[in-house]
Structure 1
Amino acid sequence: MSQSDILLSAKGIDVTYGAKRHLFGPAGGGIKVLHSVDIDIRCGETVGIVGESGSGKTTLGRALLRLVDISAGTIHFDGKDITHMPDAEMRPLRRRMQMIFQDPMASLNPRHTIRRILVEPLLLHGLATNRRDAERRVAAILDRVTLPHACLDRNPHELSGGQRQRVGIARAALLEPDFVLADEIVSGLDVSTQAQVLNLLKELSRDLGLSMAFISHDLSVIRAVCDRVYVMRNGRVVEEGDCERVFAAPASSYTRMLLDAIPLPEIDPHWLGRKSLIEEASDA
């Protein structure tokens, strides 16, 4: 993998929760939840991060975005070392590194209309010259994510779960990011809505040239949308590789256990030419 192809790279990442800071010397104690994790994400690539609950996958995702502090290791974004970059210097990069949350109700202000939720970030980041321009951009993205324009004057609680998740996707896409972290974004949706949301993400990633990290406990979802996958267990990466190879011939016994635990069709050498469970559900 050429270094020039890599948008986001983390090396030797440790995260410890509850460590006590001392007046002299490094922090100590606490619970270590990530152990020397390495991950690279290429430009335009969708990478899956998969594992059971408590495996550390969400902590890793938040560490990549500098939303949690790391206790060891380095993080580079677009060639810049952002490991300990001050907030003032990180601010311009925040727009380029977006997150779509598992629970959109927790990330959408319940007191704001969808119009305000989508328009204000455009004005804040200077991506729209005025409110009229912002409204035009919002109307275009609503069409893209197949949300009716009537949603604009509603509050988040007045929308369905799938509609709220589309608002989260629209908000991230509006800011023209280079990298998007999607954290278990379809876990609370029915299979048909999952298919629609995943197909939407695949289209946006392709059309906008996004790099994406897709966190999930469901290997069938990872198989549907990702190019490569990192399998995590107890805060460590136990397997990494192209989805084709990992699904066809997993090297780790833990990966084999995950594959055995979900209702995937039998994998043959031509599995890439077959429809995934998600695609089959969307056709149903």
Structure 2
Amino acid sequence: MTEPLLAATGIKVTYGAGTSLFGKKPGNTVLHGVDIAVAAGETVGIVGESGSGKTTLGRALLRLVDVADGEIRFDGQDITRLDDNAMRPLRRRMQMIFQDPMASLNPRHSIGRILGEPLILHGLAENRKAARDQAAAMLDRVSLPEEVLARSPHELSGGQRQRIGIARAALLRPDFVLADEIVSGLDVSTQAQVLNLLKALSREMGLAMAFISHDLSVIRAVCDRVYVMQFGKIVEHGPCAEVFDNPQSAYTRTLLDAIPLPEIDPDWLDRVAVDEA
């Protein structure tokens, strides 16, 4: 693997630690010394059951939660304990696509405003007209009509809202994107459309991406490597084909055995796309 764009070593996250009238509170440790790396242009999967710590890890990588120990480096810079002001210039380069797009889209704003304001804020558009033009072009790229700019989030379907979430992240020309369970709850056909769109944008933009999912078929279809998490620790990692075809961890084997299909189908995404064409 080439030099990682984003690398975390020994990451520990603890919630609720502090002091009280009765002394120190140890808190609840969610991540126990996690190591993970993502290279430019690489898509890495993070998989595990609910409560395994995968979402906390993703938020720690973006510095949305503080780490108690360890180091996070982005593009060679130690960002582990940068304050909000120091992190601000990096926020455009590190974007997140949320599981529930409705919760991340302001219901009182139009799609045009949701897509356009970040462009102006980060200096990527000189004025509102330039921002609208960029937003319209990106809508076309994610197969949505320009008329969507005038609509509100509640007027769109779940799949359309997820496309808006992807468009919002891509418009800021990031280097790293964290996608957290972004196709959970969508039907298989819509999942395939969203995932193929994300794969295409990732190739075009050379993105480094961390893809969080509990669905191993999704991970196999879109990721180059995978990290398997259990109880806040990495129990196995490696190229997807190797991990899924020859799992070394008993926990990974348990996850594979729990899949309702007899085996992981790495080609389902391409097959669904052909069926929908």
TM tier, shorter chain? over 0.9
Please show how residues 1-284 of structure 1 align to structure 2 within 5 Å.
1-2=1-2, 5-21=3-19, 28-264=25-261, 266=263, 276-284=267-275
Q: Deviations over 1:5-64 (max 9, x none)?
A: 2100000011111111479x9x64111110000001111100000000000000000000
Q: Which amino acid aligns with 1:87?
A: D
* Cα drift, residue 264 of structure 1: 4.5
In structure 1, runs of 5+ residues without a counterpart are 268-273
How far, CA to CA, are the matches of 1:231 and 1:207 in structure 2?
A: 27
- Assess if the C-alpha contact under 8 Å between 1:182 and 1:214 holds in 2: yes
How far, CA to CA, are the matches of 2:102 and 2:136 in structure 1?
A: 22
* Greater CA drift, 224-233 or 243-252: 243-252
How far, CA to CA, are the matches of 1:175 and 1:22 in structure 2?
A: 43
- Assess if the C-alpha contact under 8 Å between 1:64 and 1:75 holds in 2: yes
Q: Which amino acid aligns with 1:166?
A: R
RMSD after superposition: 1.6
Q: Which amino acid aligns with 2:8?
A: A
Q: Deviations over 1:225-252 (max 9, x none)?
A: 0000000001000000001111111111
Q: Which amino acid aligns with 2:157?
A: S
* Greater CA drift, 204-213 or 247-256: 247-256
- Assess if the C-alpha contact under 8 Å between 2:72 and 2:80 holds in 1: yes
Q: Which amino acid aligns with 2:272?
A: A
* Cα drift, residue 263 of structure 1: 3.8
- Assess if the C-alpha contact under 8 Å between 2:217 and 2:266 holds in 1: no
* Cα drift, residue 278 of structure 1: 2.4
Identity %: 72
* Cα drift, residue 69 of structure 1: 0.9
- Assess if the C-alpha contact under 8 Å between 2:98 and 2:104 holds in 1: yes
How far, CA to CA, are the matches of 1:103 and 1:159 in structure 2?
A: 13
* Greater CA drift, 130-139 or 66-75: 130-139
How far, CA to CA, are the matches of 2:174 and 2:20 in structure 1?
A: 38
Q: 1:275 to 1:60 in 2, by over 3 A?
A: closer
* Cα drift, residue 143 of structure 1: 0.7
* Cα drift, residue 86 of structure 1: 1.6
Runs of 4+ in 1 over 6 A off after TM superposition: none
TM-score for both structures, normalised by structure 1: 0.93
* Greater CA drift, 12-21 or 70-79: 12-21
SS at match of 1:139: helix
- Assess if the C-alpha contact under 8 Å between 2:220 and 2:266 holds in 1: no
In structure 2, runs of 5+ residues without a counterpart are none
How far, CA to CA, are the matches of 1:224 and 1:103 in structure 2?
A: 21
How far, CA to CA, are the matches of 1:114 and 1:132 in structure 2?
A: 14
Q: Deviations over 1:57-78 (max 9, x none)?
A: 0000000000011111110000
How far, CA to CA, are the matches of 1:31 and 1:275 in structure 2?
A: 37
Q: Deviations over 1:75-105 (max 9, x none)?
A: 0000000000121111000000000000011
- Assess if the C-alpha contact under 8 Å between 1:220 and 1:264 holds in 2: no
Q: 1:47 to 1:114 in 2, by over 3 A?
A: same
How far, CA to CA, are the matches of 2:50 and 2:270 in structure 1?
A: 25
